[in-house]
Amino acid sequence: EAGVVQSPRYKIIEKKQPVAFWCNPISGHNTLYWYLQNLGQGPELLIRYENEEAVDDSQLPKDRFSAERLKGVDSTLKIQPAELGDSAVYLCASSLATNTEAFFGQGTRLTVV
Amino acid sequence: AQSVTQPDIHITVSEGASLELRCNYSYGATPYLFWYVQSPGQGLQLLLKYFSGDTLVQGIKGFEAEFKRSQSSFNLRKPSVHWSDAAEYFCAVGARIRSSGNTGKLIFGQGTTLQVKP
């Protein structure tokens, strides 16, 4: 069974440019998470979806970040415009349901220059 | 609100020695508890989880963890460390009950970096 797939693995962009990350969760997993991981820190939740509904986006900086999960499967996380402080690893995870174990993708390492 | 504390930012042990990584959590009821491992440039891999029942849980790669309600702890242990265990380890807590303000998300500690000496 394929795990959580994220792309790209690495992205370097100039500040003020837009960037998008894509995530394909494990088949059948209704819950999808986007986490932000700064260097030397644990992951912090940005947004959680149950099917296509965003049920927790309280930590998502909505002035520049947006996310969608059309049809309740794949998800895209976008930043526009990117700032230097957005340099981090963006992790996608999925689980069968909330409060079951989450399975993580390999992450996208974003560098904003 | 939930929180997780991993008191040790960095630990070095010799190969073959025993290991214990500490994790303390703050939550008003019994939470769901997890340990994840992250190798450089990789995502997080689940080592083990505690939902209910036996407070000593076994995981992959020879790891185990013990839930101690009285101490609000969920420490990770391994009797004999291998060089391949060098990585970053994260403890996480999930809320068990949906109540006001609880969104069911995982809260992670800051991680403990394990270095293994030959």
| pLDDT tens readout for residues A16-68 | 999 999 999 999 999 999 999 999 899 999 999 989 999 889 899 999 999 99
| Beta-ladder partners of A50 | A31, A53
Q: What is the pLDDT of residue B102?
A: 45
**CA nearest B31 in A: which residue?**
A99
Q: Which of A101, A103, A108, A110 to mutate to test the interface with B (most CBs of B within 10 A)?
A: A101
Structure letter (DSSP) for residue B30: P
Identify residue A6 by its one-letter amino acid code: Q
Inter-chain touch B108–A102, beta carbons under 8 Å: no
Q: What is the CA radius of gyration of chain B?
A: 14
Cβ neighbours around B71 below 10 Å, total: 10
- Could you tell me what percent of chain A has a pLDDT over 70? 97
Inter-chain touch B92–A44, beta carbons under 8 Å: no
Lowest mean pLDDT among A95-104, B57-66, B104-113: A95-104
CA distance B89 to B87: 6
Is A58:B1 a contact under the CB 8 Å cutoff? no
Report how far apart, in Å, the C-alpha atoms of A97 and of each of A36, A39, A50, A51, B63 are. 20, 28, 8, 10, 25
Strands (DSSP E) along B10-117, which ranges? 10-14, 19-21, 24-26, 32-38, 44-50, 56-58, 64-68, 73-78, 87-94, 106-108, 112-117
Inter-chain touch A102–B42, beta carbons under 8 Å: no
pLDDT, tens only, B54-85:
999 999 999 999 999 999 999 999 999 999 99
Q: What is the pLDDT of residue B104?
A: 58
Q: What is the pLDDT of residue A58?
A: 86
**Does the pLDDT value for residue A112 go beyond 90?**
yes
Q: Compute the average pLDDT of residues B33-47.
A: 92
Q: Is B60 helix (H, G, I), strand (E, B) or coil?
A: helix
**Does the pLDDT value for residue A96 go beyond 90?**
no
